[in-house]
Amino acid sequence: EDQVTQSPEALRLQEGESSSLNCSYTVSGLRGLFWYRQDPGKGPEFLFTLYSAGEEKEKERLKATLTKKESFLHITAPKPEDSATYLCAVVYISNFGNEKLTFGTGTRLTIIP
Amino acid sequence: DGGITQSPKYLFRKEGQNVTLSCEQNLNHDAMYWYRQDPGQGLRLIYYSQIVNDFQKGDIAEGYSVSREKKESFPLTVTSAQKNPTAFYLCASSRRRGRRDEQFFGPGTRLTVL
């Protein structure tokens, strides 16, 4: 079964304490992976697109990486304003031969001042 | 400013009523999508449209209907046939057809059934 799993479900960090969020997937025919940030009660905000293993993207304190089985969102020296839920979404070819996009359930990140 | 707008922000529905959620984009994007978000679950696709006057069912289309008469607009109707409509509804658009383009989301509509 095609699956996208994010871990941990929730993560609390002290301000300045670097860490990583994980998005693992069991799909065939990966076509791309997206990272989004979502604040409570708002729509997701696009962060990164990764298309192939080995690719990396950076934006401010965030860095996304991709392997054949998973993606990591590294956050360096986070600030309280980085607190949000981070979603990943995977584009792949389904068993029926069509392109599908599946979202993970997200990691809720809290940065404590 | 280019973007996606959804209205209303909050919507209350009595059982047995149909309600329509609005989604408008001024990004000149071809494709538009409707998702439903429930606590503890990933976003689930309700309907999508890749071109005007055409749309396809997503994974959870039962109890919902859509139209795409204009490129900018993709309204979603939640019908009385939807058994559990209370959720956060998100509209999105992407520049091109196909799922490999990043999708940009509106602010969402929270629907509550009374």
CA distance A44 to A36: 6
pLDDT digits (tens, 9 = 90+) for A67-97: 999 999 999 999 999 999 999 999 998 888 8
Please give the pLDDT value at position B1: 62
Report CB contact under 8 Å: B100, A99: yes
Taking an 8 Å cut-off on Cβ atoms, the answer to whether A87 and B41 are in contact is no
Q: Which residue has the tokens 């871990």?
A: A7
Q: Is the pLDDT of residue B114 over 90?
A: no
Rounded to 5 degrees, what are φ and ψ at A75? -120, 120
Tokens representing residue B1 in the block: 């400013």
Q: What mean pLDDT comes out for the span A41-58? A: 96
Amino acid A50: pLDDT:
97
Hey, what amino acid is at A66? Answer: L
Identify all chain A residues contacting B102, using CB atoms and an 8 Å cutoff: 34, 46, 49
The HSE-up count of residue A86 (CA atoms within 13 Å, CB side) is 27
Asked whether the predicted pLDDT for residue A1 surpasses 80, the reply is no
Asked if B100 and A31 come within 8 Å (Cβ–Cβ), the reply is: yes
Q: What span, in angstroms and rounded, lies between the C-alpha atoms of A19 and B105?
A: 27
User: When comparing pLDDT for A81 and B14, which is higher?
Assistant: A81
| DSSP designation for A28 | S
The answer to whether residue A2 scores a pLDDT higher than 90 is: no
The yes-or-no verdict on residue B98 having pLDDT over 90 is no
Tokens of B61: 């289309």
Residue B46 near residue B34 (C-beta atoms within 8 A): yes
Average pLDDT over residues A35-44: 97
Average pLDDT over residues B85-111: 94
The answer to whether the Cβ–Cβ distance between A87 and B43 falls below 8 Å is yes
User: Who among B40, B100, B102 is closest to A105 (CB)?
Assistant: B40
Using a CB–CB cutoff of 8 Å, tell me whether B40 touches chain A.
yes
Mean pLDDT of B86-106: 93
- Predicted confidence band at A28 (pLDDT cuts at 50, 70, 90)? confident
**pLDDT mean across residues, chain B:** 94
pLDDT in tens, B19-77: 999 999 999 999 999 999 999 889 999 999 999 999 999 999 999 999 999 999 999 99
Judging by beta carbons within 10 Å of its beta carbon (0-12, 13-18, 19+), is residue A16 exposed, middle or buried? exposed
Across residues A12-39, what is the average pLDDT? 96
CB contact under 8 A, B40 and A101: no
- Chain B partners of A31 at a C-beta cutoff of 8 Å? 99-100
Count of beta carbons in the 10 Å neighbourhood of residue B18: 12
Strand, coil or helix: A5: strand
Residue of B nearest to A49 (CA): B102
Running DSSP on this structure, what letter comes out for residue A43?
-
